[in-house]
C-alpha cells in the first residue's frame, strides 16, 4: 500500500530550483590525433564513436521536446525543457563538428554510421514512424514511449557524464585537450540537466512499470549501436585490419571488458554500465540524487570551450 502511494506520488513539475544555463561553444580540431589518448587506439576509437551516435539522437530529443512543449503546464519545467533543448542542440553541433573537421579529415568514413543513426532517429522513431501516421488515439502513447526512451537514455548519459567528469587518468596519459574538454563539457551539462527528461516523462503521464522494458530496450540498443559503430571505424585502421572487428564477433566485446578490467579508469566495464540501470528501476529513483550539480558547474566554469563562449557573449 505504501509502495503504491509512493509510485502514485509523482512529482508534478520541475524537481530543481536552479536555472539550467545553455552555453555556446566551439571546439578546434586541427591538433587532435586519431589516437587522442596516446597509445590507446581502442579506447580512442570507442570514445570517437560517440561523435557519430549523438548528433541525430540529440536533435531527435529537441524535435520531440519542441512538439510536446505546449502540453507542459508547469512554468519552471517548461523553462527547464527549453534550456535542455538548447543544451542538447549545442551538444549535437559540437559532436557533428568533430565528424566533419576531425574524423573525416583524417580519412575515417563516418557516413555509414551517421546514416544508421539518421534512419533510427529520423525515420523509425519519428512522429510518423517509417512514414506511417500514428492514429490520433495512440499519438500520446507514441510520444510517451519515446519520452520514456529519452528519460532512460538521459539516466545513462548522466552516469557516463559522471564517469568522464571525475576521470583524471585520460589527462595523465596525455589526452588531447580539445577532445577531453568536449567530453567533460558534455558530461557536465548532462549532470546539470539530469532531472529534465525524467520530470517531463512523469509530468506528461509516463508510468513506472514501463521503465523496466524501456531499460532493456535502451541498454541493448545503446551498447549494440556503440560497439557496431566503433567496430566500423576500427576496421578502417590497418592495426585492426586482421582482426576485422564486428559487433557480431566476440573480440570487440572481450577487448572492451579486458581493458576495463586492466584499469577501469581507461574505460568503464560494460557490465558496470548495465548495472547502473538498476538504480533507475527503483521506485524511489530520483535523478537529483544521481550526481552533484556543483561539481558539474565547477568544471563548466573552467572548461576552455565554455570560457571562450562567455568571452564571445561579453
Ligand atoms: Fe547531450
Ligand atoms: Fe542530455
Domains of the chain, each with CATH number or no CATH: 29-313 (1.10.620)
What tens digit of pLDDT does each residue of 142-182 get? 999 999 999 999 999 999 999 999 999 999 999 999 999 99
Give the mean model confidence (pLDDT) for residues 217-222.
95
The string over 209-238, giving b where at least 16 C-beta atoms fall within 10 Å of a residue's C-beta and e elsewhere, is ebbeebbeebbeebbebbbbbbbbbbeeee
**117 to each of 76, 107, 125, 238, 293, how far by Cα in Å?**
32, 20, 11, 25, 30
Task: Give the dihedral sign, CA 266/270/272/274.
Answer: positive
Position 310 scores a pLDDT of 66
Ligand 2 centre and the CA of 262: distance in Å? 29
List the shell of residues around ion ligand 2, using CB closer than 5 Å. 157, 190
* Rounded Cα gap, residues 173 and 285, in angstroms: 36
Position 299 scores a pLDDT of 97
Position 221 scores a pLDDT of 96
Ligand 2 centre and the CA of 1: distance in Å? 34
**Is 70 exceeded by the pLDDT of residue 5?**
no
**Residues 224 and 217 sit within 8 Å (Cβ to Cβ):** no
Ligand 1 centre and the CA of 75: distance in Å? 23
* Rounded Cα gap, residues 88 and 65, in angstroms: 11
What residues contact residue 257 under an 8 Å CB cut-off, 6+ apart? 269, 270, 271
Residue 4 C-alpha cell reads as 503504491
* Rounded Cα gap, residues 21 and 65, in angstroms: 17
Ligand 1 centre and the CA of 87: distance in Å? 7
**Is 80 exceeded by the pLDDT of residue 8?**
no
Ligand 2 centre and the CA of 101: distance in Å? 23
**Is 80 exceeded by the pLDDT of residue 287?**
yes
Ligand 1 centre and the CA of 243: distance in Å? 32
Q: What percent of the chain has pLDDT over 90?
A: 93
Ligand 2 centre and the CA of 194: distance in Å? 7
Smallest-distance ligand from the CA of 195: 2
Ligand 1 centre and the CA of 29: distance in Å? 19
Distance linking the first and last C-alpha atoms of the chain: 55
Mean pLDDT of the chain: 94
Q: Which of 82-91, 144-153, 159-168, 204-213 has the lowest mean pLDDT?
A: 204-213
Residue 47 C-alpha cell reads as 570514445
Ligand 2 centre and the CA of 240: distance in Å? 32
Position 12 scores a pLDDT of 80
**Is 70 exceeded by the pLDDT of residue 311?**
no
The SS3 assignment for 273 reads helix
Position 312 scores a pLDDT of 60
**Residues 30 and 97 sit within 8 Å (Cβ to Cβ):** no
* Rounded Cα gap, residues 184 and 166, in angstroms: 9
Q: Which of 3-7, 65-69, 103-107, 184-188 has the lowest mean pLDDT?
A: 3-7
Q: What angle do CA 134, 194, 273 make, to 5 degrees?
A: 90
* Rounded Cα gap, residues 78 and 200, in angstroms: 9
Ligand 1 centre and the CA of 59: distance in Å? 10
Q: What is the DSSP letter of 287?
A: G
Ligand 1 centre and the CA of 183: distance in Å? 10
Position 307 scores a pLDDT of 82
Ligand 1 centre and the CA of 88: distance in Å? 5
Ligand 2 centre and the CA of 26: distance in Å? 18
Neighbour count for residue 122 (Cβ, 10 Å): 14
Amino acid at each position: 500500500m505504501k509502495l503504491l502511494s509512493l509510485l502514485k506520488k509523482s512529482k508534478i513539475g520541475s524537481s530543481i530550483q536552479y536555472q539550467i544555463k545553455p552555453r555556446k561553444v566551439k571546439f578546434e580540431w586541427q591538433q587532435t590525433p586519431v589516437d587522442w589518448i596516446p597509445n590507446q587506439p581502442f579506447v580512442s576509437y570507442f570514445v570517437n564513436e560517440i561523435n557519430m551516435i549523438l548528433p541525430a539522437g540529440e536533435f531527435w530529443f529537441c524535435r520531440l521536446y519542441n512538439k510536446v512543449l505546449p502540453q507542459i503546464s508547469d512554468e519552471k519545467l517548461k523553462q527547464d525543457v527549453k534550456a535542455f533543448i538548447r543544451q542538447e542542440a549545442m551538444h549535437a553541433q559540437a559532436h557533428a563538428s568533430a565528424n566533419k573537421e576531425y574524423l573525416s579529415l583524417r580519412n575515417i568514413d563516418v557516413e555509414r554510421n551517421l546514416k544508421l543513426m539518421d534512419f533510427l532517429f529520423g525515420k523509425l522513431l519519428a512522429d510518423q514512424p517509417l512514414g506511417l501516421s500514428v492514429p490520433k488515439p495512440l499519438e500520446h502513447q507514441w510520444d510517451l514511449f519515446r519520452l520514456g526512451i529519452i528519460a532512460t537514455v538521459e539516466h545513462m548519459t548522466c552516469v557516463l557524464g559522471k564517469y568522464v567528469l571525475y576521470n583524471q587518468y585520460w589527462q595523465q596519459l596525455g589526452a588531447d585537450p580539445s577532445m577531453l574538454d568536449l567530453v567533460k563539457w558534455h558530461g557536465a551539462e548532462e549532470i546539470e540537466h539530469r532531472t529534465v527528461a525524467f520530470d517531463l516523462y512523469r509530468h506528461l503521464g509516463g508510468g513506472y512499470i514501463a521503465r523496466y522494458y524501456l531499460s532493456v530496450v535502451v541498454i541493448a540498443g545503446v551498447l549494440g549501436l556503440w560497439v557496431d559503430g566503433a567496430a566500423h571505424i576500427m576496421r578502417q585502421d590497418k592495426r585492426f585490419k586482421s582482426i576485422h572487428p564486428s559487433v557480431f564477433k566476440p573480440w570487440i566485446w572481450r577487448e572492451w571488458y579486458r581493458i576495463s578490467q586492466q584499469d577501469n579508469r581507461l574505460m568503464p566495464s560494460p557490465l558496470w554500465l548495465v548495472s547502473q540501470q538498476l538504480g533507475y528501476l527503483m521506485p524511489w529513483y530520483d535523478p537529483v540524487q544521481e550526481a552533484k550539480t556543483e561539481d558539474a558547474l565547477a568544471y563548466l566554469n573552467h572548461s576552455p570551450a565554455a570560457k571562450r563562449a562567455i568571452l564571445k557573449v561579453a
